[in-house]
Structure 1
Amino acid sequence: MVEAGQAPLAGIGLRQPHYAELLENPQPLGFVEVHSENFFADGGAAPAVLEQARRHYAVSLHGVGLGLGSAAGVDAWHLDRLERLVRRIEPARVSDHACFARAPRQAGQAALHANDLLPIAFTPASLDILCANVSQVQDRLKRPFLVENLSAYLSFADDAIPEPAFFAALCARTGCGTLLDVNNLMVNALNAGSPDPQAACCAFIDELPSGIVGEIHLAGYCRLDDIVIDDHGSRVRAAVWRIYEHALRRFGAVPTLVEWDTDLPVLPVLLGEAQQATALLRTVA
């Protein structure tokens, strides 16, 4: 495991096709990241794999199911399971998304879960909901939490707060941090028809306060007809690398993950992407 004080190393997602290679032949990685919900079980193969990985690497837990922007609140069972996982693994970081996923049903019925990362409106009311839910999670986990900016394929007519200011307010009010997904910035800029997507992404980064970004994500995207999809299924694009360099100059050597979740390549390809991120990290370390 990489010790504090050593030169920074980027991380990768720990995905099933690479389990054996990464565990039997440990690689020079800053950390591995897993989707928290895949390891909620108390026993079986998945928790055993994660326990083994924890002996070789720092672990970052990245959730997709809390629905932090949901007016229906945080699911108690989900938070219970996340707390147990955090206590067992002692992760380097814990995160989820600025999205909603849960909606109330009739009295006496469990909330409906959309099983998707649905965008929230950037309004004072949405900010109040998000702050309350993030505070509940942090109080339960007894640690700071990171909230990721979303790739969103629609916006709301009543959006009233610029997204960077929204995240700045969230962090100021709750003490949480931001997980800055650079690929999501690019996807949103492209889908918005920005005349200069790279400049728009860098401007977003410049509007975030120093000190709130606790992790950065990099990934690939694809074009499908007239829309850009954040599919995590290819190499990081050249423009995204340039925006990442800008983020590093702005925030310093922030722990960085290369996400690759679909059409997984052979491990050396993924490690090569992480090595490129590591080389950039070391220019600002």
Structure 2
Amino acid sequence: MSGIPSFHGFGLGLRRPHYSAFMAGDVPVDFIEIISENYMVDGGRPLAVLDAVRERYPVAMHGVSLSVGSAQGVDWDYLARLKALAERIEPLWMSDHLCWTRTSAHNSHDLLPLPYTAEALDVVCANLARAQDALGRELLLENPSSYCSFPDDEMAEWEFLSEVCRRTGCHLLLDVNNVYVSARNHGFAADDFLAGIPMERVRQIHLAGHTPGAILIDTHDREVCDDVWALYAEAIAMTGPVATMIERDDAIPPLPVLLAELDVARDIAAQTERRAA
């Protein structure tokens, strides 16, 4: 099984409004992240765009349908198509979410929450181990945003994630915005989350905006807020240099707006590194 390469830099997601700029290689980023399922096809323009982009940038694959928490186990057909895409583009790494998305008869196309119990932990670890074996790669697992909890929870999310890493050898994609959203929604301290996960396993960080309200909603449709930037500074001080990207999936602005936001992440990381020197 292949390991995760040492890589750090600053990137953006490959989104349709910006295809032309990325294909031309004119975007000053260190890597690109794709939504894997958008390119798990036999042909067509999206795949042609991806091939062109891959010639110019390193690419990370980020999935939304692995469903590691599914009681039905892994979807072998899905894994075969995912592996074919990975073999085509040779990504930096592949990631997905700590969640479930499907039953044997239905795919929700949403990142559904898991109870943090020993039983759910066994399911996640078994599914993730099978997926990594099938793909021949270690995976990154992302912490999703959360809007409900379960009365039978036996551990905190960070304890659950830590044990998954220990048992499967997977790595982490730390979504700092999701930590903030879940902390606010459930009343725990974001600092406890950061202190509780194995930071040495973090290979990538996501930053995004959310919709404020009585319940914060992870919408990826606006800029990163000041509190999330502050939490990013704390996280990057603990991880050291690590790949960081801005996610924007709705109300997508012109590229210069996203690049200016990405420069904020660069500045924070540089300041943090200088303080640590």
Matched position secondary structure for 1:229? coil
Matched position secondary structure for 1:222? coil
Within a 5 Å distance, the mapping from 1:150-169 to structure 2 comes to 150-169=144-163
Match of 2:52 in 1: 52
Match of 1:75 in 2: 75
For structure 1, which segment, 202-211 or 27-36, has the greater mean C-alpha deviation from structure 2 after superposition? 202-211
- Normalising by structure 2, report the TM-score: 0.93
Aligned partners of 2:185 and 2:215 also within 8 Å:
yes
Instruction: Say whether 1:236 aligns with 2:224.
Output: yes
Matched position secondary structure for 2:55? helix
| Cα distance in 2, alignment partners of residues 22 and 279 from structure 1 | 23
The unaligned stretches of length 5 or more in structure 1 are: 105-110, 195-199
The unaligned stretches of length 5 or more in structure 2 are: none
Within a 5 Å distance, the mapping from 1:140-179 to structure 2 comes to 140-179=134-173
Superposed displacement of residue 134, structure 1: 0.8
Superposed CA deviations along residues 221-263 of structure 1, whole A, max 9, x for unmatched, are 0125x32110001111101011001001111111111101110
Match of 2:110 in 1: 116
Q: CA RMSD in A?
A: 1.7
Match of 1:43 in 2: 43
Instruction: Say whether 1:207 aligns with 2:196.
Output: yes
| Cα distance in 2, alignment partners of residues 116 and 25 from structure 1 | 32
Matched position secondary structure for 2:34? strand
Amino acid corresponding to residue 241 of structure 2 in structure 1: A
Identical counterparts, % of pairs: 43
Aligned partners of 1:211 and 1:251 also within 8 Å:
yes
Matched position secondary structure for 1:230? coil
* Distance change (3 Å), C-alpha of 1:5 and 1:231: closer
| Cα distance in 1, alignment partners of residues 239 and 6 from structure 2 | 18
| Cα distance in 2, alignment partners of residues 79 and 267 from structure 1 | 33
Aligned partners of 2:146 and 2:185 also within 8 Å:
no
Count of residue correspondences: 269
Superposed CA deviations along residues 79-100 of structure 1, whole A, max 9, x for unmatched, are 1110000100100010000001
Within a 5 Å distance, the mapping from 1:1-285 to structure 2 comes to 8-104=8-104, 111-193=105-187, 200-224=189-213, 226-283=214-271, 284=273
Superposed CA deviations along residues 8-43 of structure 1, whole A, max 9, x for unmatched, are 531111100011122224222121111000001121
Superposed displacement of residue 69, structure 1: 0.6
For structure 1, which segment, 111-120 or 238-247, has the greater mean C-alpha deviation from structure 2 after superposition? 111-120
Aligned partners of 1:253 and 1:282 also within 8 Å:
no
Deviating beyond 3 angstroms after TM superposition, the runs of 4 or more aligned structure 1 residues are none
- Normalising by structure 1, report the TM-score: 0.90
Aligned partners of 2:183 and 2:190 also within 8 Å:
yes
